[in-house]
Amino acid sequence: MDKGTIITLAVIVGLLSGYFGGLLSRSFAGPKSNIQAEEYLLVNDEGEKRAVMKVTRSNKVAVLLYDDQGKIKSGFELDDNGMPEMIRDPRDLY
């Protein structure tokens, strides 16, 4: 075999190895699409809190909206039937 043939075969073997290695890695690794947190915080460009999504002490999902002063102005949580309801007293969530 001449030098050109050896280089061509090496390139083909390398490409095939990379291709099949990538296919195999997907079957073992699984997707990385799950992000978990106890609380998600949305901030403005100055880092000030503007909204929070969290699980409350009573194990309900809540979304809280903050004003420019960092005070809760509005929010809702899901009731026992999964329907949204306004939060009457945000202090009960913490």
What pLDDT was estimated at residue 12?
A: 73
What pLDDT was estimated at residue 29?
A: 61
Residues 6 or more apart in contact with residue 41 via CB below 8 angstroms: 49, 51, 52
What pLDDT was estimated at residue 54?
A: 87
What pLDDT was estimated at residue 86?
A: 84
Per-residue pLDDT of the chain (94 residues; tens, 9 = 90+): 677 677 777 667 676 677 667 766 666 665 667 778 888 999 999 999 999 988 888 888 888 889 888 888 888 888 888 888 888 766 655 5
- Model confidence over 58-83: pLDDT tens digits? 888 888 889 888 888 888 888 888 88
Residues 6 or more apart in contact with residue 54 via CB below 8 angstroms: 38, 39, 40, 61, 62, 64, 93
